[in-house]
Chain A
């Protein structure tokens, strides 16, 4: 019996709660007998993150929401419904396909093809030696050169990578973290050599070391000097490259490592808080650098949970920036994000199914208001994508953009009882994680204690068990399994890239001014011991054609290397 329903005049006082209770009552009346005749397929229905989901959501579930305060029109604080008043009507998202393999020559060719096919931005995938700051001739580079991305050893490779591509006319995203400053320095010098200035240059470096410690594990230095490299980039860009996105705070890898949607959201946004705090502590005005921060989220298979995640992200970030950091500029409040469909959801079995998975995941990212998107290729559980598979992935985005009609409306799911409830739940869960991490002293401290790593390991194991028990069905893997295995055409990367990169490195060392290289590296080391900004020192080393490995080694000598205690 609804409280207050029988009191005199109460039908006027509690219109909202009166109606919503009626909705729930009605539902119980119809659903309960229905369950008797047709029992539900499962005892408990959950999202892919294990979040329990009710059969129906009603106005009751969003009774506490206030439209102006909690949602607001797109373009208005707290941006739950989007940061642009007109959504995709003015400008579609950037279709940015992550690509790179083999030598800079081969990747340059793929980039030209992607741009010709209508891609609107580039996204560089580097190989593991580059990502780990090792030259091709280092013992740990054995077999890794050019395999997972393009190998870039020195400025000479960067010049080749962007040969014939006008850097002033595109935006480039570079997925690079530990050696982000070194690679960014190379990009700046290439732009300069093409005759372009830095002030108008636009693009993104991932530059997010915290998620490396948490999830992807491509770290070099301990957390604190790593954070200094990042704040050096913030400071440098405020003055010299004001349109550059200095960091892409990434949940993608956190999710791929096994986090739930809420954990992805919480750890990513809390990483963002950490970077802003370090920037402020380094003496920057929050509104000077916060507008250049961007985010990168996964777009996984649980459709509504993902859409709610993006909406919650915008609302939480707006509040954090305005209330916690006292930012004044709306541009500091607005969370912009790139998204990528979930690599981890792709299956080696029946690979064509991956096209469907990717399309649905991409749709979630679009309905969540992404600013740019990468769609995975169908063959990526098996290898790096072939050119045809990469083109199909791009076509998937173009079909969503131009054929489905979803881009005509801003935040079409706003007001959905379920989506709004999920948005609120994810927000609350995130804020609870913020409290825990704040109590630990911050994200750097939480990482040092292994906290997010442990949380993720736990979730990933629980998910795997759910798959084993077929509580979660993966089509073609634990159900609907095909009897025969049809091989598909794959991109096979041989060792020729390694051979060629080693030759080029040898030639470089024989022809460059090695005295100038050494001097630049010595200055870099001295600078790293002190407190000067490392960016100008790296730019000088890059101009002298110092290699990624040489620059990273110089800093290894000063700062040492990080070793984690593995958490299973």
Chain B
């Protein structure tokens, strides 16, 4: 029996608009993943701690406030420090086009804009989450 992919869904920053985060959390769960939703206003430190504690294969961040260029670098730096470079990180929300290559460059592999079908995100995580084989 294959083990389920474990995903931490997090809402960093001060924003409380959690519709997207919650819908995605539920869609991933319905697609057979193990989903841990952190709730609101998580610092990058708290998100990394949750990923470590939950043995996450992927982290999904929902950011609509425009703070992504501050939150994401910090998160990636902390993941590196904890030796979690192999955890897949994806971001969804209101992200200007010009920032997408910058986010990709810092190691965020999926950036999903408004209107993305849930199935696309499910497929992306299924394809790219770190393999649990041999863990």
Question: What are the residues of chain A within 8 A of B98 when measuring CB–CB?
Answer: 492
User: Which of the candidate stretches B22-30, B48-56, B82-90, B125-133 sits at the interface with the other chain?
Assistant: B22-30
Tell me the complex Cα distance, A487–B100, Å: 13
On whether the beta carbons of A147 and B67 are closer than 8 Å, the reply is yes
Question: What are the residues of chain A within 8 A of B26 when measuring CB–CB?
Answer: 457, 461, 568
On whether the beta carbons of A257 and B19 are closer than 8 Å, the reply is yes
On whether the beta carbons of A474 and B67 are closer than 8 Å, the reply is no
Question: What are the residues of chain B within 8 A of A344 when measuring CB–CB?
Answer: 19
Given known pairs A140-B14, A382-B96, A468-B119, the reply for A564 and B19 (CB within 8 Å) is no
Q: Which residue of A lies closest to B99 (CB)?
A: A492
Choose from A131, A349, A460, A568 the contact partner of B37 (Cβ within 8 Å): A568
Given known pairs A140-B43, A348-B115, A566-B39, the reply for A258 and B19 (CB within 8 Å) is yes
B117 within 8 A of A: yes
B106 within 8 A of A: no
On whether the beta carbons of A140 and B41 are closer than 8 Å, the reply is yes
Q: Given known contacts A460-B23, A478-B117, what 13 new A-B pairs fall within 8 Å (CB)?
A: A129-B14, A142-B70, A212-B16, A217-B17, A258-B23, A344-B19, A349-B115, A381-B113, A383-B94, A384-B66, A457-B22, A566-B40, A568-B35
Query: How many B residues face the partner with a CB closer than 8 A?
Result: 36
Choose from B18, B29, B68, B117 the contact partner of A217 (Cβ within 8 Å): B18
Given known pairs A139-B43, A147-B65, A464-B118, the reply for A568 and B96 (CB within 8 Å) is no
Interface size class of A (residues with CB under 8 A): 35 or more
On whether the beta carbons of A143 and B66 are closer than 8 Å, the reply is yes
On whether the beta carbons of A348 and B114 are closer than 8 Å, the reply is yes
Q: Which residue of A lies closest to B119 (CB)?
A: A468
Q: Which residue of A lies closest to B68 (CB)?
A: A143
Tell me the complex Cα distance, A346–B16, Å: 19
Q: Which residue of B lies closest to A217 (CB)?
A: B16
B interface residue numbers (CB < 8 A to A): 13-19, 22-23, 25-27, 29, 35, 37, 39-41, 43, 65-71, 94, 96-98, 113-115, 117-119
Given known pairs A129-B14, A457-B22, A460-B22, the reply for A217 and B65 (CB within 8 Å) is no
Interface residues of chain A: helix, strand, loop or mixed (majority): loop
Tell me the complex Cα distance, A567–B25, Å: 11
Listed by A's residue number, 24 A-B pairs whose Cβ atoms lie within 8 Å are A132-B14, A134-B14, A143-B69, A144-B15, A147-B65, A148-B15, A216-B16, A217-B40, A257-B17, A258-B19, A258-B23, A346-B114, A347-B114, A382-B97, A383-B66, A457-B26, A464-B23, A490-B97, A492-B96, A566-B22, A566-B39, A566-B40, A567-B22, A568-B29
Choose from A128, A258, A492, A493 the contact partner of B14 (Cβ within 8 Å): A128
A141 within 8 A of B: yes
Q: Which residue of B lies closest to A478 (CB)?
A: B117
A420 within 8 A of B: no
Question: What are the residues of chain A within 8 A of B16 when measuring CB–CB?
Answer: 212, 216-219
Question: What are the residues of chain A within 8 A of B29 when measuring CB–CB?
Answer: 568
Choose from A148, A217, A383, A476 the contact partner of B96 (Cβ within 8 Å): A383
The smallest C-beta distance from B113 to any residue of chain A, in angstroms, reads 5
On whether the beta carbons of B69 and A477 are closer than 8 Å, the reply is no
Q: Which residue of A lies closest to B15 (CB)?
A: A128
Question: What are the residues of chain A within 8 A of B35 when measuring CB–CB?
Answer: 568
A256 within 8 A of B: yes
Question: What are the residues of chain B within 8 A of A567 when measuring CB–CB?
Answer: 22
Tell me the complex Cα distance, A140–B27, Å: 29
Choose from A143, A476, A478 the contact partner of B13 (Cβ within 8 Å): A143
Tell me the complex Cα distance, A157–B43, Å: 28
Tell me the complex Cα distance, A338–B92, Å: 30
Q: Which residue of B lies closest to A140 (CB)?
A: B14
The smallest C-beta distance from B108 to any residue of chain A, in angstroms, reads 15
The smallest C-beta distance from A429 to any residue of chain B, in angstroms, reads 22
Question: What are the residues of chain B within 8 A of A128 when measuring CB–CB?
Answer: 13-15, 65
Tell me the complex Cα distance, A219–B39, Å: 14
